[in-house]
Amino acid sequence: MELEMETTKMLKANAVRCIDIEFEDLTYQVTVPKQKEKKTVLKGISGTFRSGELTAIMGPSGAGKSSLMNILTGFTKNGVTGNIKFGSAAKARKLCCYIMQDDHFYSWFTVEETMMLAASLKISNNSMPIRDRKLLIDQILDTLKLTKTKHTRCSRLSGGQKKRLSIALELIDNPAVLFLDEPTTGLDSSTSFDTIKLLQTLASQGRTIVCTIHQPSSNIYSLFNQIYVMSKGYCSYQGTPDRTVDYFKSVGLECPPYHNPADFLLECVNGDFGDYTSALTEAAKKPEWRHDYDRSRSAITASEKISEALSATNGKHCPSQQTPTSSHIYPPPEWMRLWLLIGRCHVQIFRDWSLTHIKLLMHILCAILIGLLFGDSGSNADKQLSNFGSFLVHSLYLWYTTIMPGVLRFPQEIAIIKKESFNNWYKLRTYYLATLITSTPVHIILSSVYMTIAYVMTDQPLELDRFVKMILTSMILTVCADGLGIFLGTILNPVNGTFVGAVATCFMLIFSGFLIFLNHMSDFMRMISYVSPIRYGLENMVLAMYSNNRQDTICPDDVLYCHFKNAATVLKSFGMENGNYGMNLTILVVQILFYKSCAYFTLRRQVKRQ
Ligand SMILES: Nc1ncnc2c1ncn2[C@@H]1O[C@H](COP(=O)(O)OP(=O)(O)OP(=O)(O)O)[C@@H](O)[C@H]1O
């Protein structure tokens, strides 16, 4: 009761727009590899999900429940025929939100912070000032019994609290239609009941709420307004829970006394009492079993009727589909969302100390270790070959420590990105840009710290232009590694991504011009080496140190002959005398743009995938 009152209070500020979903003769075909004929997943099903009602889609595994949800939410478009109508709304997709089975949040944020950010991403300052947004959040959290967890980090919430937070986040902009994929999975019976009761309350205020559910208990089953049963791609029943037993009796299936009708229903469509699929499919088409039988005979629209009923019984208001909403909530402009997402990424970087602090510490320690290992190789004419080796170590170290986290970045976040971009929190390109804007400075800082320490410790010439060129090369090479890493992360799973990343790095190393000098490669092999970013990085480090009239290095007194004393000799011996620093840098930048653009398109493909 208290729950209902609070929800009503919240919704006074934001009236719900009533949207009925009607679909007719919906067919969905998929191509199955190695099979000539297409597989028909949905076989001409029809139905209506009314606003103000809570509908459960039930059926055995493989019946087509998720396929139906994905089609209605707009996730699946290919292979679908039939008509789908979302009331009178032109842009139906924008009115729905989809709460997926698993609840994914950024673990470093508290419930309140997550809600506040979602509110800022969904509601512009002009349509609701920040003070009102805070009030709205408090009301939603109160309604969903999450007030006590306001300052708890999302990762520490229980399963039921996570589910309620998922719902709370989507309630911020008061969607007209909510789809939920198995909202009770993983919850105990009491929490499951509370969750469905909450959905029932939210539906009774005018929303259209549709969820898939497996084997609900009898008390949960009775909370639904409509049950839509699917079996083998057909609709086997669409009616109220209380008429289920009579319905199955009409086709000769008698429910034993004291048996949960939901269990009986599943046993029937599972074929436990024989194959009744065609009998049930035919019976389900009869209007008298449909839950909206009376309404379909009435002249007034369903929404108006619900609106009337709600006004009469609960005093709640549900505007007609033709009437605009009483309150206008506008999303903020995309640049504002970009700003907010940059803020979120920054907070995440600083709170996830493993991401930045450990990396920084490792870079410092490794630079010192490598510095100690190579000693005065930068100035000692007898150690110039080792100095060349140190450049390869720098290139490889920066490349490897960047590409691997890159491979893992998006797979970890894909579920959150999918959820947030699908539910219109932001456009994918805004999110992608925000991650690039925040991650690039981190790579620049980390590579500069590493290279500065290594440069000084290996006794390289203390000339500003050479130092700047060295730092610039290491920065660009690091950002390039990040580009390839995220590209691999968007096309491969983490296991394959790390494997392919490691193999690609090995080949880039082979073609870098150190293990086999560029002038020792055949023309064809040298052409392949032009693909390797490590080649350009290494060549640029060598050019930064040895080109532009570099003074001879010092040959120690105890060494008779130092072949690499002269910088020109070094360049000639390694086949880099014709190298062009600016050109190499440009090629690296082009590679960065290529990898990062490809990564965006592959990420978009992944996000759009079911
Ligand atoms: N893109 C696809 N390619 C091949 N088969 C598919 C595709 N999409 C769905 N199917 C097949 O269609 C059938 C229905 O799948 P769907 O996921 O909709 O079932 P479901 O009722 O949601 O099952 P569950 O309850 O186990 O999640 C399954 O046999 C599935 O393998």
**Predicted local confidence at residue 590, as pLDDT:** 97
Cβ of 35 less than 6 Å from ligand 1 = no
Report DSSP state, residue 81. E
Cβ of 291 less than 6 Å from ligand 1 = no
Cβ of 233 less than 6 Å from ligand 1 = no
Distance in angstroms (rounded) separating the CA atoms of residues 313 and 499? 63
Domains of the chain: 17-104+175-298 (3.40.50.300), 334-608 (no CATH)
Cβ of 66 less than 6 Å from ligand 1 = yes
Cβ of 527 less than 6 Å from ligand 1 = no
Distance in angstroms (rounded) separating the CA atoms of residues 300 and 302? 7
Percentage helix, strand, coil, to 5, in the chain?
Answer: 60, 10, 30
Q: Who's near 589: CB < 8 A, 6+ residues apart?
A: 476
- Report how far Cα 194 is from the mean position of its chain's Cα atoms: 28
User: Residue 205: which of 244, 171, 160 has the closest Cα?
Assistant: 171
Given ligand 1 and candidates 61, 66, 234, which is best to mutate, with the most ligand atoms within 8 Å of its CB?
A: 66
Cβ of 30 less than 6 Å from ligand 1 = yes
Task: Give kind and range of the element (H or E) at residue 431.
Answer: helix 428-457
**Centroid of ligand 1 to alpha carbon of 38 (angstroms):** 13
**Centroid of ligand 1 to alpha carbon of 41 (angstroms):** 7
β-sheet bridge partners, residue 272 = 274
List the residue whose alpha carbon is closest to atom 28 of ligand 1. 62
Q: Who's near 478: CB < 8 A, 6+ residues apart?
A: 398, 399, 402, 443, 444, 446, 447
Alpha-helix runs per DSSP H in 286-352: 293-297, 302-313, 334-351
User: Which pTM does this prediction carry?
Assistant: 0.81
**Predicted local confidence at residue 306, as pLDDT:** 42
Contact predicate 182/211, CB 8 Å? yes
Cβ of 62 less than 6 Å from ligand 1 = yes
**Centroid of ligand 1 to alpha carbon of 140 (angstroms):** 35
Distance in angstroms (rounded) separating the CA atoms of residues 208 and 52? 6
User: The tokens of 455 are what?
Assistant: 């440069």
**Centroid of ligand 1 to alpha carbon of 239 (angstroms):** 24
Distance in angstroms (rounded) separating the CA atoms of residues 225 and 355? 48
Given ligand 1 and candidates 26, 27, 35, 39, which is best to mutate, with the most ligand atoms within 8 Å of its CB?
A: 39
Cβ of 537 less than 6 Å from ligand 1 = no
**Centroid of ligand 1 to alpha carbon of 233 (angstroms):** 9
Q: Pick the atom of ligand 1 nearest to 59's CA.
A: 21
**Centroid of ligand 1 to alpha carbon of 29 (angstroms):** 11
Matching residue, tokens 């490598």: 370
Task: Give kind and range of the element (H or E) at residue 475.
Answer: helix 464-491
**Predicted local confidence at residue 610, as pLDDT:** 61
Low-confidence ranges of the chain (pLDDT < 70): 1-16, 89-93, 292-328, 610
Distance in angstroms (rounded) separating the CA atoms of residues 263 and 214? 10
Distance in angstroms (rounded) separating the CA atoms of residues 183 and 196? 8
**Centroid of ligand 1 to alpha carbon of 292 (angstroms):** 28
Cβ of 61 less than 6 Å from ligand 1 = yes
**Predicted local confidence at residue 325, as pLDDT:** 38
**Centroid of ligand 1 to alpha carbon of 591 (angstroms):** 40
**Predicted local confidence at residue 455, as pLDDT:** 97
Mind giving me the DSSP string for 103-144? Answer: ----TTSBHHHHHHHHHHHHS-TTTS-HHHHHHHHHHHHHHT
**Centroid of ligand 1 to alpha carbon of 161 (angstroms):** 29
The region that residue 208 occupies, defined by phi over 0 for left and psi between -120 and 50 for alpha, beta otherwise, is beta
**Predicted local confidence at residue 569, as pLDDT:** 92
The ipTM, to two decimals, is: 0.96
Distance in angstroms (rounded) separating the CA atoms of residues 562 and 556? 9
**Predicted local confidence at residue 216, as pLDDT:** 87
Contact predicate 349/356, CB 8 Å? yes
pLDDT digit string, tens, across residues 93-130: 677 888 888 888 998 899 999 999 999 999 888 888 88
β-sheet bridge partners, residue 56 = 211, 227
**Centroid of ligand 1 to alpha carbon of 267 (angstroms):** 20
